[in-house]
Homo-oligomer: A and B are copies of this chain.
Amino acid sequence: MSQPNARRPATLASLAAELGVSRTTVSNAYNRPDQLSATLRARVLEAARRLGYPGPDPVARSLRTRRAGAVGLLLTEALSYAFRDPVATGFLEGLALACEQAGQGLLLIPVSPSQPDVTTVHQAGVDGFVVYSVREDDPHFLAVLERPVPTVVCDQPVGIDGVDRVGIDDRAAMLGMARHLTGLGHRRIGVLCMRLGPDAQDGRADLLRQEQTSYPVQRARIGGLREGFAEAGVDWADVPVHERFEHSVDAGEAAAAELLATHPGITALVCTSDILALGALRHATARGLAVPDDLTITGFDGVPEAERAGLTTIRQPVREKGQVAGELLLERGERNRPRQVVLPTELVVGTTSKGPREARFFSGW
C-alpha cells in the first residue's frame, strides 16, 4: 500500500545473480555468517541494502524450515473482550513473557463471536496452540486439534487425549470456600455462575444443566460447593444457582438482583468469579444491604480490583498459568515437566464474609 519500498523487487535469487554468487552464499550471509568470508558477507549485505532486499522472506523460510516462529492463542471470547477481562490479561501477560523469552511471536486468533468460521484457525501459521478456557465442543478448538501441531490447554476443556494442560483444582478450591462458609454458619446460600452452555441462557440453572454444562471449570466449582454444603447437610436441590452468559460487573449485578428477588432469605451469595461478585456487591449496596452483616458475598480469581474491595475470594495464579502454558508448549527443559500442571490456589478471607445473623446469636454465648 504505501510503503516506500512496497514492491518486492529483490529476492535472494536475484541478489545472488546480481552478485554473481550462488543463492546458498546469500542465504549463508544471513543465516550462517561463519560459513563465508567476512568480506564476501559484507559485499552481500551491501548489495542487499542497495537493491532494497529486505532479507529472506519469512514465509518462504518457514515453509522450508517448517517452523513459523510463533504460537497461536485461542481464546473463549471475542479477542477484544479478552483485553477487558483482568483474568485474561493476567494470563496473556504470563504467556507473553514465555514467548518473549523464547523469541516466539504470539498470534491471537480472531474469533468472530458465535460465528463458526474456522478458517482463521486453518490459516494461522504457527508452531503450536495455546487454548485458553474454551467450551469442550467449541468448533475452533476442534479445528485446532486437527492441526498437526502441539497444543496446550489452560483450564478447559479437560481430559483431551494427548494435550497438555495447565490449570488449578477448581473443585478443591471451591470445597474450601464452602467449608469456610459452612464454618461461619451459612446454610441458605445462592450461587452466581458463568455461562454453562453455548447459548445465552440467563437465569436459574437446574441440576441437569449444572451437570451437563460444556464448561468443566464451572462444573468443578459448583461441584466443590455442592460437596462442601452436603457435608453440612444442605440439600443442593434447594440451592438456587443462577447463570449469566455475559461476564461483566453489570451482569453480576443483574443476576444478584434476580436471585435475591426470588430468594430473599439467603445469607450468602457465592460467585464463581470476582467480576460477578463485584456486581453482586454493587447490587447489595444499591439495595441497602450491608455486606457482610446482611449478606456474605464471595468471589473467585483474586483480581486486583477484588482485593481492593476486600472481597473474600479464591486467589489463583493467573499470570503463572500463562507462563507455564507457554513453557509447556515451547518445551523448555525438554519435556521433563509433567504434561498436566495443577497450580495452587489460596482462600483469601476478606471483609465480605461473616457468619449469618442467626449463627451470630449462637456464637454470642
Contacts and interface: CB of A to CB of B under 8 A. Distances in A.
A119 interface: yes
A70 B149 contact: no
Interface in A137-164: 145-151, 161-164
A49 B62 CA distance: 25
A350 interface: no
16 contacts: A2-B164, A3-B150, A4-B161, A6-B149, A52-B148, A59-B59, A59-B62, A68-B125, A69-B125, A78-B97, A79-B99, A80-B93, A83-B92, A103-B120, A105-B124, A125-B125
B3 A58 contact: no
A50 to B, nearest CB: 13
B3 A70 contact: no
Contacts of A172: none
A106 B75 CA distance: 13
Given A70-B125, A103-B120, A108 B108 contact: yes
A110 B119 contact: no
A128 interface: yes
B111 A100 contact: yes
Nearest to A60: B63
Contacts of A339: 2
Given A3-B149, A63-B63, A96 B79 contact: yes
Contact of A100 (B56, B112, B331): B112
Interface residues of A, number: 71
B69 A150 contact: no
Identify the 8 closest CB pairs spanning chains A and B, nearest first.
A1-B150, A79-B96, A83-B93, A100-B110, A106-B108, A80-B97, A69-B123, A80-B96
Contacts of A111: 100
A107 B63 contact: no
A5 interface: yes
A70 B104 CA distance: 15
